[in-house]
Structures are given as structure tokens and as C-alpha cells.
Amino acid sequence: MTFVQGDRAPEPADETLRRIAAELRRPIAFDAAIDAAALQAIRAGRRSTGRRGVWPWLGAAAAALAASILLAVVLHRDPAAGASRAVLLRLVAPASSTVTVVGDFNDWNPSATPLAPSGAGEWTVRLRLPPGRYRYTFLVDGREWQRDPTEPPVPDDDYGAPMSVITVS
Amino acid sequence: MPAKTGSGGTRLSQGGPDRSPSGMTESDAALVARTLAGDLDAFAGLMARYRNSLGLYALHMLGNREDAEEALQDGFVRAYWALAACREPERFGAWLFRIVVNRCRTVRRRLRRHDHLTLLPADLPGRRGDVSETLGWREEIGRALARLRPHYREAFLLRYVEEMEYDEIARLTGAKEPAVRMRVKRASDQLRELLRDVRAG
């Protein structure tokens, strides 16, 4: 087999593979209705459209209700049952006017979990989380994503944004 | 610290091949800025710009239009809400591509119960040796791609169709670079074997 392994030559040297790659690069048109449906979902406040079935057809209100119920379940889970642990998230951001946290535990909803100022430029929020691994990041002033410097970073993620990970055991 | 998104050598990072009338002259960075300022038309321009190229990847990865369109649409919606996290707006295409690659993985996991992809109707003739007479080269490639393990298919598409460097693929997929090279090699070996008897139409 002859095959170019060099990083500078992504084109396969092999004739068959070259023909395959060329064929796979041939353009196919996708319907603009995809964009329109995405815009409709965005206008309705939906954060994702990935699941089939009833879920995609729920309106923004229903989605928000479901998220808040989920969050309420997470927050009010009885610690005596041993199913959840208290987690304190903290970020020092003295020049900020709002800080929220988005993560796997709140469906990446930017408005679900605000942090409160606790003095000296520090923002905190206390969560109760069931055991698991959670990716999260802080959203500062509604625009800037800033990961938690006290927890390990996530090297790779959906958005290419800085994120941290906590493991609740 | 923003996650690296590569050295800029991919097709998508170079601005994407698809230009819509609404995004004909504006750069990605300008459209991202307008979107962040609340202009949904600007985001429509970005979607139109990348729809075909990202859809093509999703189609090859997932094997059918319905799932590809679902992954694409979900990727667009998630990208909109996370746009503030796009640290290099001039490389919006590469950032969006990462999201769609991950959406494809999610959709693929949900489809895992199916033994094979559905790139072609199940009732098409599929015996090796005679298929080239009834199916075109493209369909044969699709059929062969669908037989690869998803990780192999992904690695092959990223390397030779999207023209990404191995280190970029490693960062994107979370795999180590030697593993990526191995996946590309095995995908290539298997495709070569699967398509050995098929001639271009």
C-alpha cells in the first residue's frame, strides 16, 4: 500500500481512495427549509431540536417548564437519600454585572442558574447534584464564557469554549 | 483558554464553499457580530453559507438525509445560542463544524440499534460483484462507507474529505493522534477492499 502519511498532504496517494474522496466532495444541495426550521426554533426560544417525537414540538414555555422542573428535582433531591451532594460553584469576577452557570446539569440554559455576589468580587451558587460527571462553564455578563479555574478543564467539547468538569461521587 | 480549533487548513475553516445572496460579501466575523447584536438575518446568512458543506458531511456520516438534516438543524440552533463562545468569529465555519460533528455522533448513537445505515433502500441489490452493474459509483461508495465502523468513517471523512490534519482530528474527536491515524488507515484499507471490484461509472 502506498499512502501519504505526511500532515501536509491530506490527499491520499492511492488512486482508489483519491477517487472516493473526490466523489464524496461532490456537492449536494440541502433544502433552505432546514435554516427556516432552525430560525423558527430559535425564535421560539428552543435550545436544541435534536430529539424526535413529542419533544421538538413543545413550545418554549413547555421546554422552560420542563427545565425548571428538572432543575427543581436536582436542587431539592433529598440528601438523606444519599443521591445528591452539595456543590458550591464560585467565580471571582469583580467587574461583572451578571454571572450564570451553564452545564450538563441545567441543559445549558443561560438563565436557569444565576450566581449571586458574595462580596469582594466573588460570585457563588450552591447546587445539589446527583452523582455523575458534569461539564459546565460560567457565562459572564451574558456574553463571555469563562471556565472554573479551580476544576479540571474539558479539553474538547461541542462549542470549542472553555469548560470545566466536576465529578460528584 | 479557548480550545484550539486547528491550524486553519480545512475546507470549512477557509470560509466554506457555499455563498448565499445574503452573505455574499460579508465575512463570517461580520455576520457573527451582527448576530450577537440581535440580527437573525445575519445568522440566516451564516446558515445558508455552510448548509451544503455541513449537510454533506452529516449525510456521509449518518447515511440518510433525514438524520443529516436533523443533525444540521440541531447544530444550527445550538450554535446560535452558544455563539458568544465562538472565540474566533473569523473561523466560524470550523467552530460550527465541530458542533455538527458532535451532533452527528449523538444522532449516530441513537441510531446504534440499527445494524447498518440506510444510505440506500434496503431492497436494492447488494451482492458484491454484480452491484456495479446496477448501482452507480457514488451509491457504491455510500454503501461501503455505511459498512465502516462509525469512528473509522468519521476519521476517513475528516481526513480526506474535509482535509483536516491529524492533530486537528485528534482535538476534534478527543482521540489520540496515533489512534486517528490507525482509524484512517483501517477505514482506507476497508474501503479499498469493499470497492475493489467496483469501477467508476
Report the chain A residue with the minimal C-alpha distance to residue B91: A160
- What is the per-residue pLDDT for A49? 83
pLDDT at A156 over 70: no
- DSSP of B105-164: HHHHHHGGGSSS--SS-TTS---TTTHHHHS-HHHHHHHHHHHS-HHHHHHHIIIIIS--
User: pTM for the whole thing?
Assistant: 0.66
B142-151 residues labelled b (16+ CB within 10 A) or e (exposed): bbbbbebebb
Q: Please work out, in degrees rounded to the nearest 5, the angle formed at the alpha carbon of residue A31 by the alpha carbons of A25 and A35.
A: 105
Q: Do A144 and B5 touch (CB under 8 A)?
A: no
Q: Do B87 and A41 touch (CB under 8 A)?
A: no
One digit per residue, the tens of pLDDT, for chain B of length 201 reads 333 334 444 555 444 444 444 445 799 999 999 998 889 999 999 999 999 999 999 999 999 999 999 999 999 999 998 888 888 899 999 999 999 998 998 888 777 644 444 444 333 333 344 444 445 888 889 999 999 999 999 999 999 999 999 999 998 888 899 999 999 999 999 999 998 877 544
Beta partners for B127?
none
- What is the per-residue pLDDT for A110? 76
Q: Which of B99, B145, B185 sits opposite A158 (nearest CB)?
A: B99
Q: In the CATH hierarchy, which top-level class contains the domain B131-201?
A: mainly alpha
CA distance B107 to chain A (A): 8
**CA A59/CA B135 separation, integer angstroms:** 44
Q: Which of B1, B77, B172 sits opposite A38 (nearest CB)?
A: B77
In whole angstroms, what separates CA B42 from the centre of its chain?
A: 23
Phi and psi dihedrals of A138, rounded to 5?
-95, 145
In whole angstroms, what separates CA B25 from the centre of its chain?
A: 25
Q: Do B76 and A35 touch (CB under 8 A)?
A: yes
Q: How confident is the model at residue A11 (pLDDT cuts 50, 70, 90)?
A: confident
- What is the per-residue pLDDT for B153? 96
* A54 burial type by CB count under 10 A (0-12 exposed, 13-18 middle, 19+ buried): exposed
Half-sphere exposure of B3 (CA within 13 A, CB side): 27
pLDDT at A57 over 80: no
The mean pLDDT value for A89-104 works out to 91
Which fold, A77-168?
Immunoglobulin-like (2.60.40)
- What is the per-residue pLDDT for B46? 97
Q: Tell me the pLDDT of chain A averaged across its residues.
A: 76
Q: Do A17 and B160 touch (CB under 8 A)?
A: yes
CB contacts of B70 in chain A (<8 Å) are 49-50, 52
Half-sphere exposure of B74 (CA within 13 A, CB side): 25
**Cβ distance A107 to A134 under 8 Å?**
no
Cell numbers for A77: 433531591
- What is the per-residue pLDDT for B135? 59
Q: B8-114 architecture in CATH?
A: Orthogonal Bundle (1.10)
Half-sphere exposure of A144 (CA within 13 A, CB side): 11
- What is the per-residue pLDDT for B4? 36
Mutate to test the interface with A, among B81, B110, B159 (most CBs of A within 10 A): B81
Domain boundaries, chain B: 8-114, 131-201
Q: Which strands sit side by side in the sheet containing A116-117, from one edge to the other? A: A85-92, A122-129, A116-117
| Bigger pLDDT: A161 vs B79 | B79
CB contacts of A10 in chain B (<8 Å) are 9, 159-160, 163-165
Q: Which of B52, B137, B196 sits opposite A27 (nearest CB)?
A: B52
A73 close contact with B: CB closer than 8 A: no
Q: Do B1 and A37 touch (CB under 8 A)?
A: no
Residues 91-120 of A with CB under 8 A from B: 108, 110
CA distance B134 to chain A (A): 18
Q: Do B164 and A10 touch (CB under 8 A)?
A: yes
Q: How many residues does chain A have?
A: 169
ipTM score = 0.79
Q: How confident is the model at residue A112 (pLDDT cuts 50, 70, 90)?
A: confident
- What is the per-residue pLDDT for B145? 94
Report the chain A residue with the minimal C-alpha distance to residue B141: A20
Ranked by mean pLDDT, the top range of A8-22, A82-96, B64-78, B128-142 is B64-78
Mutate to test the interface with A, among B76, B92, B197 (most CBs of A within 10 A): B76
Q: Can you tell me which residue has the cell 479540571?
A: A152
Domain boundaries, chain A: 77-168
- What is the per-residue pLDDT for A38? 95
Q: Do B138 and A38 touch (CB under 8 A)?
A: no
